[in-house]
């Protein structure tokens, strides 16, 4: 009996449920039901484009969790961020703390914008312009006589930031063999819509305008070196 009690005590407590929904479902929910619509990105991200009628709590603020628990627990809560990661963590926290009517926009406002659903940009927004790329330039650089590698990233993306030093060093190593570009998806929304990019990091290598390698998510230095070396060999044959 003592052993059984110990086993039961050591079992992890399962997290309570919340609902993952796509953009169309999310829009129906926030249109048809009363509740709290909450954007959990930074203030700058929020001002540069948010869903109408959304409130804003910064996921990275020290008092973020405390403010979440001040939300009424008897009303539906609809959460979103850029890709769904931060808002999912917020939804998990609310569910664990007894909130049983929580919805997360699974793929974030990136998917929402791809579907041309309504977004409001504040008058005092300060759009990100670093590493902006328009479609015309994008297609022009693909017509290269050497491999072309493009790193689609976002300033708020943790894996993107982690890979940046590694990719920057590879740019030095392969400067005369592979043309490498960074594309900030926040600054390049027209291109993102045209390519239907729904998440970052997205890494892609082209040969003669054709994709020969792509990855949604992180990659190691050695993986990229191997891909680059094979591509360079193809161009020198």
Catalytically active residues, by annotation = 157, 160
Q: Name the nearest CA neighbour of 160 among 219, 226, 87.
A: 219
| Sheet with 179-184: strands ordered across | 179-184, 148-153, 202-207, 210-216
Print burial letters for 200-213: b (CB count within 10 Å at least 16), e (below 16): bbbbbbbbeeeeeb
- List, in order, residues 6 or more apart from 224 with CB less than 8 Å away: 149, 166, 167, 170, 203
Q: Which helix (H) or strand (E) holds 213?
A: strand 210-216
**CA-to-CA separations, 77 to 14, 23, 35, 93, in angstroms, rounded:** 21, 15, 6, 12
In this structure, are residues 187 and 131 in contact, taking their beta carbons and an 8 Å threshold? yes
């Amino acid at each position: 009996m003592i052993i059984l009690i110990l086993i039961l005590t050591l079992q992890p407590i399962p997290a309570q449920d919340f609902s993952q929904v796509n953009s169309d479902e999310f829009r129906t929910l926030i249109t048809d039901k009363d509740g709290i619509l909450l954007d959990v990105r930074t203030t700058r991200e929020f001002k540069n484009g948010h869903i109408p009628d959304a409130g804003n709590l910064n996921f990275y603020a020290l008092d973020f969790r405390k403010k979440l628990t001040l939300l009424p627990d008897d009303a539906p809560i609809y959460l979103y961020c850029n890709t769904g990661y931060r808002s999912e963590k917020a939804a998990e926290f609310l569910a664990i703390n007894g909130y049983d009517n929580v919805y997360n926009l699974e793929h974030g406002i990136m998917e929402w914008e791809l579907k041309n659903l309504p977004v409001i940009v504040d008058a005092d927004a300060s759009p990100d312009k670093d590493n902006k790329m328009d479609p015309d330039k994008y297609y022009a650089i693909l017509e290269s006589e050497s491999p072309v590698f493009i790193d689609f990233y976002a300033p708020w993306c943790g894996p993107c930031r982690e890979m940046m030093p590694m990719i920057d060093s590879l740019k030095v190593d392969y400067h005369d063999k592979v043309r490498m570009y960074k594309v900030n998806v926040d600054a390049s929304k027209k291109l993102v819509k045209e390519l239907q990019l729904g998440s970052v990091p997205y890494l892609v290598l082209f040969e003669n305008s054709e994709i020969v390698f792509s990855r949604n998510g992180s990659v190691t230095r050695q993986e990229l070196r191997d891909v680059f070396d094979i591509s360079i060999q193809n161009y020198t044959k």
